[in-house]
A = this chain, B = another copy of it.
Amino acid sequence: METIAFARGVPAPEMLPVDELQAASARVFERDPVRLLSYGTGGGYDPLRRSLAERHGVEPERVVVTTGSLQGFSLLAQVLARRATLEGRRARVIVEEPTYDRPLLLLERLGIEVVPVPLDGEGVDVEALDRAMARGADLAYLIPTYQNPAGATLTASRRRAVVASAERHGVLVLEDDPYGLLHFEEPAPPTLFSQRGEAPVAFSGSFSKTVAPGLRVGWFVLPEELAFDVATLANDTYISASVLGQATVHEFVESGAFEPNVERARGMLAERRTHILDALERHLPEATFTAPAGGYFIWIRLPDGLDAASVVAPAAAEGVTFIPGISFGADCGAYARLAFSSPPVDQIDAGVQRLAAACTAALALA
């Protein structure tokens, strides 16, 4: 019996634009081989940096292209931790609860104080966020659109409130937006970054969810001084990210393949979302959730307040994987994150059926 994996937020194999990337790779080998195969800079492959800068309406010096956006987050957190240390204090980062588990781990490793702010079906609680910002922070790390793990999207009015709080308290907001283009019906409200005005808002994006993770290309748009420090630390740590990956994805974008591929990914993800909603209704009707309007994830509260961690082993025995809520926040034990992006679409129903069986087994053990 093959395991059905809801655990990892990865694109399904059929979502990867293999032919277009192969063609892009071949063209860039023809066009720019010496730059492609030489060291780049900490800031990134210059043509890609410029095109991202244009997309975001900023100077290229504010863009830093990294080995996926997690690497960029690690560098940014290191810079912030160091700045705080030089001021004789501990860095402080506000996060949503729940939030993406990997940044949490990086913050903990660096000894940074993490301040969680609750999140509901309409995104982060903006009043709690404002109060947390009022106490001061080096960064507020938010995933406003199709959030990981909650699938929630910050409403338009809450977005305005977040930007206003950032400006009022002078706290830098990092808008992490790997999923923002992957809407199922209506596009999401405009990004925080696009409506930042004078507020301190930074942005991170990734080609991992819209093109292919194996390229390992993510990017940050930062205030100029911070961009310089992050690019310098990147250079000091690994000289440059893979030029091959950066040049290939740049060529892919320039050739006009990006938009059609995003459109294709939206369709495939929307179909998967429909399947998982149907399956949840059929097999786990007691589970509660907010249906995601885009992205890769659905965040369900398990029946009868089951501790999701206690379901992991029975689920593995049934042949299905997911991530228990505790990985994403201390108060999230009753939740499970299901990534519907990666299993074959015709296995989603069976996967949820197995999860339901695992819940029954866990309840019997409890």
Output the least CB separation between A107 and chain B (Å).
11
The contact sample of 15 A-B pairs, CB cut-off 8 A, is: A16-B34, A21-B29, A22-B33, A37-B214, A38-B212, A38-B214, A39-B213, A67-B238, A70-B237, A74-B237, A102-B236, A109-B236, A215-B242, A216-B240, A216-B242
Listed from nearest, the 5 A-B pairs whose CB atoms lie closest are A242-B242, A214-B243, A37-B212, A71-B238, A22-B29
Output the least CB separation between A57 and chain B (Å).
28
Measured in the bound complex, the distance between the Cα atoms of B214 and A243 in whole Å is 5
Q: Is A333 an interface residue (CB 8 A)?
A: no
Cβ < 8 Å to B, chain A residues 235-277: 236-245, 248
Q: Is A18 an interface residue (CB 8 A)?
A: yes
Q: What sequence of 0s and 1s flags, for each residue 33-47 of chain A, a beta carbon within 8 Å of any chain B beta carbon? A: 111111110000000
Q: Which residue of B lies closest to A22 (CB)?
A: B29
Q: Which residue of B lies closest to A247 (CB)?
A: B214
Q: Which residue of B lies closest to A240 (CB)?
A: B216
Cβ < 8 Å to B, chain A residues 86-122: 102, 105-106, 109
Q: Which residue of B lies closest to A33 (CB)?
A: B18
Cβ < 8 Å to B, chain A residues 176-216: 208, 212-216
Given the complex, which residues of B lie within 8 Å of A25, measured CB to CB? 25-26, 29, 244
Given the complex, which residues of B lie within 8 Å of A39, measured CB to CB? 8, 10, 208, 213-214
Q: What sequence of 0s and 1s flags, for each residue 63-94 of chain A, a beta carbon within 8 Å of any chain B beta carbon? A: 00011101100100000001000000000000
Q: Is A305 an interface residue (CB 8 A)?
A: no
Q: Is A13 an interface residue (CB 8 A)?
A: yes
Given the complex, which residues of B lie within 8 Å of A242, measured CB to CB? 67, 214-216, 241-242, 244-245
Q: What sequence of 0s and 1s flags, for each residue 140-179 of chain A, a beta carbon within 8 Å of any chain B beta carbon? A: 0000000000000000000000000000000000000000
Output the least CB separation between A196 and chain B (Å).
27
Given the complex, which residues of B lie within 8 Å of A67, measured CB to CB? 67, 238, 241-242
Output the least CB separation between A110 and chain B (Å).
10
Cβ < 8 Å to B, chain A residues 1-34: 8, 10-11, 13, 16, 18, 21-22, 25-26, 29-30, 33-34
Output the least CB separation between A327 and chain B (Å).
13
| Given known A-B contacts A67-B242, A214-B243, A216-B241, A37 and B16 have beta carbons under 8 A apart | yes
Given the complex, which residues of B lie within 8 Å of A29, measured CB to CB? 18, 21-22, 25
Q: Which residue of B lies closest to A208 (CB)?
A: B39
The one of B8, B36, B68, B109 in contact with A238, judged by C-beta atoms closer than 8 angstroms, is B68
Given the complex, which residues of B lie within 8 Å of A70, measured CB to CB? 237-239
Output the least CB separation between A13 and chain B (Å).
5
Contact A105 B21 (CB under 8 A): no
Contact A238 B74 (CB under 8 A): yes
